[in-house]
Amino acid sequence: MVFSSYTFLFLFLPLVLVLYYVLPLIAPKRWAQRVRDWRGLVLLLSSYVFYGWARYWYVLLILASTLVDLVCGRLIVDAGTRRKKRALLLVSLLTNLGMLGYFKYRDFAVDAFVQSLGALGLDVSDPGWPRLVLPVGISFYTFQSMSYTIDVYRGVVSPLPWKRSLHFISYVALFPQLVAGPIVRFRDIATELVDRRHSWSLFGQGAFFFMVGMAKKVLIANRVGPMADALFGLEAPGALDSWAGMVSYALQIYFDFSGYSDMAIGLGMMFGFHFPWNFNAPYKATSITDFWRRWHISLSTWLRDYLYIPLGGNRSGRWKTYRNLMITMLLGGLWHGAAWTFVLWGAFHGALLALERGLGKRPIYHRWPTAVRVGATFTLVLLAWVLFRAPDLAHAGRVYAGLFGAHGWGGFSLRGPFSWRVPAGVLACGLLLAWLAPTTQQMAARGGWGRVVVVLVLFAVAVVELLQSAFNPFLYYQF
């Protein structure tokens, strides 16, 4: 189930909201003595229904990860020696990373093994194993759950007592941000899991975020996505098609992912939670370092705190800092997907971050005017997106060749049956919004009935658009 579906909008969400707010008021008193937290129970059960909607056995995976971390977190505190604490932490890490590694990287490892034997001249046929279906959201909830035991081990948070186990189970499975983040750490919402406040003001702000996110996804991301898909179907794309297609993808992934994050944050507010921001106008960045302060913030800070800093961060000299940056970004690339394209995407960003670190966290073009620095950074990000989007290195090579004119200027074939003015107008509108428009947070903070009316109209148009468009899940739906 995805947010941009009629099942979610007109069946699941209204039903959950009614149960969440009304059931505690009408429940018989004899029930209230047995169930003290009706709202928490509604959230827990609805989250598992949401997650198991597509494949019910997914629930067993998330429950296994949750129970292991719940038990390990509690036992770490009770362990008498540091050695036992480390052993319990290792159980948590191996369980989560083992699940993630098996489902996400088994096919990649088998393919790489077969190809390497073939390169050595050995005639090895494909083992014929069925390809694994990646469980929805596994990359997110394993990181989220695992951060709890790490923080307990570090003494950053106190583990929940056994009698509050349902709060932790609910935390890992919260449906507003379960599928594609933001990655919410336990310490961010530990208090709200037990006692959170609800108000019409917070609910209204959440609805505003949700509607903005829906408009981003349906009216922009879904519009430009077909042009990006068409580009990677061309054998010899010209320069015009290559640049138009990659700008399309840059806009698609930004408005798609930031739209989901807005919707998740908005849903959290509707239920009394405050999730961390995940995007801060990343295409306004003036350097790659600045870009990673603005893009997928919950992931970049997670990698910083649980990988980069434990590796040594910038505390062990210049060259080890560069090494730590490269390792972090390589693993960050591999987290996104089991393919060499993702590894190279991480390496590309890691090399640029290391270069800027050597220049004092500034790009080589730091003396250029701000607008030009923004354009240069966007171009570098665009070149990296080729690897991120390409299904394999061969497709990436064809697009790079097109970007640098190897196939000539070409025409604008990505427009499909439309006049070139339609897709060109959509791309121009998307770029203007990405570069000049305020963020969702800024719009919500400024308020005003005019903005509310505009967002309501855009949301209504987006809902109508769902009737006319094919099903289009979020890009991060199965990362």
**C-alpha to C-alpha distances, 317 to 157, 328, 350, 357, nearest whole angstrom:** 31, 16, 17, 12
In 3D, which of 172, 146, 127, 178 has the Cα closest to residue 1? Answer: 178
DSSP line for 130-188? PPPPPPTTHHHHHHHHHHHHHHHHHTSSPPPPGGGHHHHHHHHH-TTTTTT-----HHH
**Number of other CB atoms surrounding residue 23 within 10 Å:** 15
Residue 470, phi-psi category: left (phi > 0), alpha (psi -120 to 50), beta (remainder): beta
Dihedral sign of CA atoms 208, 209, 215, 216 in order: positive
H or E element, residue 225: helix 222-231
CA 331/CA 329 separation, integer angstroms: 5
Tracing tokens 């992934």 back to the chain, one arrives at 253
Q: CA geometry: angle at 203 spanning 138 and 168, to 5°?
A: 35
CA 293/CA 6 separation, integer angstroms: 34
In 3D, which of 373, 289, 376 has the Cα closest to residue 325? Answer: 289
In 3D, which of 332, 274, 345, 276 has the Cα closest to residue 304? Answer: 332
Q: Which pair of structure tokens corresponds to residue 456?
A: 């309501």
**Among all residues, which ones are annotated catalytic?**
336
Cα 164 from chain centre? 28
334 contact partners, CB below 8 Å, separation of at least 6: 105, 342, 343, 346
DSSP state of 66: H
**C-alpha to C-alpha distances, 280 to 174, 289, 290, nearest whole angstrom:** 23, 13, 10
**C-alpha to C-alpha distances, 229 to 224, 395, 412, nearest whole angstrom:** 9, 12, 14
CA 93/CA 349 separation, integer angstroms: 26
Tracing tokens 């940056």 back to the chain, one arrives at 325
